[in-house]
Structure 1
Amino acid sequence: MPKIGNIILPEFPLLLAPMEDVSDPPFRRLCKLHGADMMYSEFISSEGLIRDAIKSRMKLDIFDYEKPIGIQIFGGDEEAMAMSAKIVETVQPDLVDINFGCPVKKVVCKGAGAGVLKDVDLMVRLTKAVIKSTHLPVTVKTRLGWDENSINIDEVAERLQDIGVQALTIHARTRAQMYKGHSDWSHIARVKNNPRISMPIFGNGDIDSPEKALEYKNKYGIDGIMIGRAAIGYPWIFNEIKHYFATGEYLPQPSIKDRVIAAKNHLIWSMEWKGERLGIVEMRRHYTNYFKGIPNFKEHRLKLVTLDEANALFDAFDEIVSVYENK
């Protein structure tokens, strides 16, 4: 069983990826309910935390029922990273995760996220600064390298383990690929098979079905899988994968009622956490995903993304159930 510090994970854990503007407490709560074994906060700017930026501070909200949970930070300055790790420690997560994988330009430009892949020495210094300043286990999420010609994940894994990183999640793409093109897990398998590597290695990228999860588990020998985009609007994926691993069979697809319950809970928890107005507005981007593939749904979707009162939204949900359950 993979172990990170004192955290003992199940035999083959399924992790929920930290996703900007997605992996907030309401969404994490849903994924936990549907089988996610470990989760992470959205990534948090170390500079923002130190400046006391409200948005950054809000991302530190974690709850007991989410545990084990990691808080993910990013930044390009050693001092800021060390200070932000101390701030993170005050909310008592189970671990601190460092993002060396985000490919977004505004992050990379600051020499953070995947920008650090160009400078492994800097990556090591930033990580060391975090490890020194916290008692929590420190883990890292990164990519294969900057581009096809500079895949350096083997060196990165060894050097991070040598300074005390306790687990590594590898997104099987380069920074140049962003989220496009094919993810190549053979590089992750090579890291996992390196006799020098003893920390858990988790794979990330393109896992969107139970059979793909099983195929990659068997083929690449990793310690667990991190799921990101496939869980958006479809938190059932975690239990579906677990059921398939255990029985070789598929769980029934979520019914309209299941989808409505999930979307409704997500909305309720969003309003509780963000306040009614913001909770309603920020949920709008999720509805398309919850009801993907449902025929003749346009009219209902329009209601969900335009209504701005909670009660009217709950009525719209009830209407969806009654229309589709009777078909």
Structure 2
Amino acid sequence: MQIGPYTLKNNLIVAPMAGVTDRPFRMLCKRFGAGHAVSEMITSNSLLWGSEKTKRRADHQGEMAPISVQIAGGIPAQMAEAARVNVAHGAQIIDINMGCPAKKVCNVMAGSALLQHESLVAEILDAVVGAVDVPVTLKTRLGFRRGEENILRIAKLAENAGIAALAVHGRTREDMYNGTARYELIREVKRSIRIPVIANGDIGTPQKASEVLSATGADAIMIGRAAQGRPWIFREIAHYLSTGQLLPAPAVAEIRGVLLEHLDDLHQFYGEYSGVRIARKHIAWYTKGLRGSNEFRQAMYQLESTTEQHQAVQAYFDQLAEQGERLVYEQEAASEPLAA
């Protein structure tokens, strides 16, 4: 997989997810075999660049190259300036967000809301590509509304503007994350343009990864929600694509070590107060479906210190280890909420 001058080690990419793909998570996924990772979106509104949230999102210290930073906004000049500023701070690839379906993003004419205005899409693409000397990629959806999919025209605009790679989520903004991703349109995109195409949406198993690559002809796949609490999915997919065989489930001891290390990184990165709260959702993802995890999580959500949280996770996985080497899952209610 090639993005500009950068040759990725494989065609497995971590999708940008607000509130998830921070530096600790990106580094962890890369360690488990992801060939590339894109940062959480950074606003193009310069009034917010000094906020602690934006500063953390722009922190790439120690991260494996190439460093890809996603920017979001709807004003071409602001997007161009945001690209220049992030390149000056170490970004080696700029990714443009035209795929986020969140209401607060779409309400300010950013993310997937831009797909309603193709002339503005073209202006933004031209402005950002012209502003920097690094590759610019685009993350988008099939269109804004079902029945009005305009991804083929958006893809042509991207290619004509000099976009280095195009990632397509197989849903419209109207779909949000409902229903199933539609890969046939991604296949049409791949056939219609010459730049690399990355397929995204509903890829949660090694078998599905192989099926999507085959069905779309895409150059790479992008994994988002399926990697939450399961960063080793990249190792599993890479092994399956190369051998056709599934790896065994991770041992309890390995997952305990991964989660505890992830917690330590989160606590250090965010500090005591925010670190505890942000770590809660990651702990919930790691433990979802494990034996006795519902009771564990309800107690864990009440903990207020990093030390208590670390100790609770250690004790829970120690108990699991006594029950067997491999993780044992049980049926849980799908509606159980995850703590934010």
* CA–CA separation in structure 2 for the residues paired with 1:289 and 1:255: 17
Unaligned runs of 5+ in 1: none
* CA–CA separation in structure 1 for the residues paired with 2:33 and 2:137: 22
* CA–CA separation in structure 2 for the residues paired with 1:112 and 1:124: 14
1:72 corresponding residue in structure 2: 70
Deviation readout 1:260-314 (Å, 9 max, x if unpaired): 2222111100111111221112101121210122122233223432222333333
* CA–CA separation in structure 2 for the residues paired with 1:138 and 1:95: 6
Answer whether contact 2:209 2:237 (CA < 8 A) is retained. Answer: yes
Q: SS where residue 219 of structure 1 aligns?
A: helix
1:312 corresponding residue in structure 2: 308
Q: SS where residue 66 of structure 1 aligns?
A: coil
1:243 corresponding residue in structure 2: 239
Q: SS where residue 63 of structure 1 aligns?
A: coil
2:204 pairs with 1:208: yes
* CA–CA separation in structure 1 for the residues paired with 2:89 and 2:261: 25
1:289 corresponding residue in structure 2: 285
- 1:79-158 map, 5 Å: 79-158=77-156
2:224 pairs with 1:228: yes
2:17 corresponding residue in structure 1: 19
Q: SS where residue 326 of structure 1 aligns?
A: helix
Deviation at 1:51, TM superposition (A): 5.0
* CA–CA separation in structure 1 for the residues paired with 2:45 and 2:261: 33
Q: Quick one: which amino acid aligns to residue 8 of structure 2?
A: L
2:273 corresponding residue in structure 1: 277
TM-score (norm: length of structure 2): 0.91
2:317 corresponding residue in structure 1: 321
* CA–CA separation in structure 1 for the residues paired with 2:42 and 2:100: 12
Deviation at 1:45, TM superposition (A): 0.9
Distance 1:51 1:258, change over 3 A: closer
Distance 1:125 1:316, change over 3 A: same
Q: After alignment, is 54-63 or 121-130 more displaced? A: 54-63
Q: Quick one: which amino acid aligns to residue 62 of structure 1?
A: H
2:198 pairs with 1:199: no
Q: Quick one: which amino acid aligns to residue 314 of structure 2?
A: D
* CA–CA separation in structure 2 for the residues paired with 1:50 and 1:280: 24
1:163 corresponding residue in structure 2: 161
* CA–CA separation in structure 2 for the residues paired with 1:260 and 1:49: 41
- 1:21-60 map, 5 Å: 21-48=19-46, 51-60=49-58
Q: Quick one: which amino acid aligns to residue 55 of structure 2?
A: R
Deviation at 1:53, TM superposition (A): 3.0
Deviation at 1:49, TM superposition (A): 6.1
Report how many aligned residue pairs link the two structures.
323
Q: Quick one: which amino acid aligns to residue 191 of structure 2?
A: N
Answer whether contact 1:78 1:126 (CA < 8 A) is retained. Answer: yes
TM-score (norm: length of structure 1): 0.94
Deviation at 1:85, TM superposition (A): 0.8
Unaligned runs of 5+ in 2: 324-340
Distance 1:182 1:171, change over 3 A: same
Q: SS where residue 63 of structure 2 aligns?
A: helix
Answer whether contact 2:260 2:314 (CA < 8 A) is retained. Answer: no
Deviation at 1:201, TM superposition (A): 0.2
Answer whether contact 2:49 2:55 (CA < 8 A) is retained. Answer: no
1:253 corresponding residue in structure 2: 249
* CA–CA separation in structure 2 for the residues paired with 1:31 and 1:306: 28
* CA–CA separation in structure 1 for the residues paired with 2:136 and 2:235: 27
Deviation at 1:107, TM superposition (A): 1.1
The percentage of counterpart residues that share the same residue type is 37
* CA–CA separation in structure 1 for the residues paired with 2:71 and 2:314: 40
* CA–CA separation in structure 2 for the residues paired with 1:81 and 1:30: 29
